[in-house]
Amino acid sequence: MQRVKHNPLNLALAHLALIIYTIIALFPVLIIIINSFKTRKAIFRDPLALPNSETFSLIGYETVLKQGDYFGYFQNSFIVTVGSLFFILLFGAMAAFALSEYRFKGNTLMGLYLALGIMIPIRLGTVAILQFMVATGLVNTLTALILVYTASGLPIAIFILSEFMRQVSADLKDAGRIDGLSEYRIFFQLVLPLVRPALATVAVFNMIPIWNDLWFPLILANSEETKTLTLGSQVFIGQFVTDWNAVLSGLSMAILPVMILYIIFSKQLIRGITSGAVK
């Protein structure tokens, strides 16, 4: 297919604009990471310089590792994120299957009821959620966080997944039924594998907000044992306002796991977003 030739000048301008914006996007992150490896003197004398043999120092990281339980925080964040995603996908897919596969009284109404949550920010129920968690003894447990994130992720998950499940061929499911498969096996063995791309989309959409949330860890699980990495770095960095080495190292260590996750999942994430969730 022959396209109209693009003006090379326009392309160069586009590159220039994009490079400038990329620098704006990355500069603050790079400046934090670079300076976390320098001595206190060098941080202030020449903040833009890379560390060299003279100015290189790991003193900030030593302080951070001695003080905060970073690995514990990381583990908590990991358990909460993976646990919530698991239940969002499992419960969401099950409900989406029920709504898209069976005709029953109140089907549309149930769909609307579940979709309502897309518009309601779950934070507005915080007060009552806290009372619920106190009453059930779940305060300061990771279970509380997993429950809350599952509830808040379900509406959009059900919405997206039922759209995809309507596209799964009815012949295939009927063939399964004729072969004597139970409805459960049809769901788990025939339908779920076919909607894997949609499951990935839902997972990546939910992953970042859950990992980064500060509100619910702050309110529901702020004990030392249940702190997530986001809350842990908030509290920890706040204690070291004047120790610039420790603050910069603490920030870099909080950036690191997210960056690694992003690099691993970035293809999946971008494909998820661009695969037409919004049309």
Partner 1 sequence: MTTETRPKRRWQILVFLAPAVLVYTALMILPLFGTLKLALYENVNEQQVFVGFKNFATLFGDPNWSEAFWRGLKNNTWFFIIHMLVQNPIGVAIAAMLSVPALRFKAFYRTAIFIPTIMSFVIVGFAWKLILSPLWGIAPGLLDAVGLKHLFQPWLGKEEYALTTIALISVWQYVGIPMMLIYAALLSIPDEVLEAGEIDGITGMKAFWKIKLPLILPSIGIISILTFVGNFNAFDLVYTIEGAMAAPNFSTEVMGTLMFRTFFGHQTQPGDPNMGSAIAMMMFLVILAGVTIYLFFIQTRMRRYQF
Q: 208 to 237, contacts with partner 1 by CB under 8 A?
A: 208, 211-212, 214-215, 219, 230, 233-234, 237
Using the contact rule CB under 8 A, the part of the chain among 50-58, 61-69, 115-123, 195-203 near partner 1 is 115-123
Q: Identify residues 239-258 at the interface with partner 1 (CB under 8 A).
A: 244, 247-248, 251, 254-255, 258
Residue from 59, 65, 151, 181 touching partner 1 (CB under 8 A): that is 151
End-to-end CA distance of the chain: 25
Tokens at 116, concatenated: 């309502």
Using the contact rule CB under 8 A, the part of the chain among 52-60, 61-69, 93-101, 190-198 near partner 1 is 93-101
Q: Please tell me the total number of residues recorded for the chain in this structure.
A: 279
Amino acid at 202: V
Tokens at 264, concatenated: 């691993």
Q: CB-wise, 78 or 132, nearer to partner 1?
A: 132
Please name which of 31, 40, 34, 44 lies closest in space to residue 59, comparing C-alpha atoms: 40
Q: At closest approach, how far in Å is the CB of 57 from partner 1? A: 17
Q: Identify residues 167-196 at the interface with partner 1 (CB under 8 A).
A: 170, 173-174, 177, 183-184, 187
Q: At closest approach, how far in Å is the CB of 62 from partner 1? A: 20
The partner residues of 38 in beta bridges, in order of sequence, read: 56
The partner residues of 56 in beta bridges, in order of sequence, read: 38
Q: Is 22 in the site for partner 1 (CB under 8 A)?
A: yes
Q: At closest approach, how far in Å is the CB of 70 from partner 1? A: 14
Using the contact rule CB under 8 A, the part of the chain among 53-61, 62-70, 110-118, 190-198 near partner 1 is 110-118
Residue from 60, 68, 155, 176 touching partner 1 (CB under 8 A): that is 155
HSE-CB at 208 with a 13 A cutoff on CA atoms is 12
Using CA atoms, how far apart are residues 248 and 60, in angstroms rounded to an integer?
7
Tokens at 235, concatenated: 């509290």
Tokens at 107, concatenated: 């089907």
Residue from 9, 109, 124, 135 touching partner 1 (CB under 8 A): that is 124
Q: At closest approach, how far in Å is the CB of 257 from partner 1? A: 11
Residue 77 contacts residue 256 (beta carbons within 8 Å): no
CA distances, 120 to each of 11, 48, 114, 160, 272 (Å) = 43, 44, 11, 17, 24
Q: CB-wise, 32 or 194, nearer to partner 1?
A: 32
Q: At closest approach, how far in Å is the CB of 254 from partner 1? A: 5
Using CA atoms, how far apart are residues 233 and 210, in angstroms rounded to an integer?
15
Residue from 24, 66, 109, 137 touching partner 1 (CB under 8 A): that is 24
Q: Is 66 in the site for partner 1 (CB under 8 A)?
A: no
Using CA atoms, how far apart are residues 255 and 56, in angstroms rounded to an integer?
20
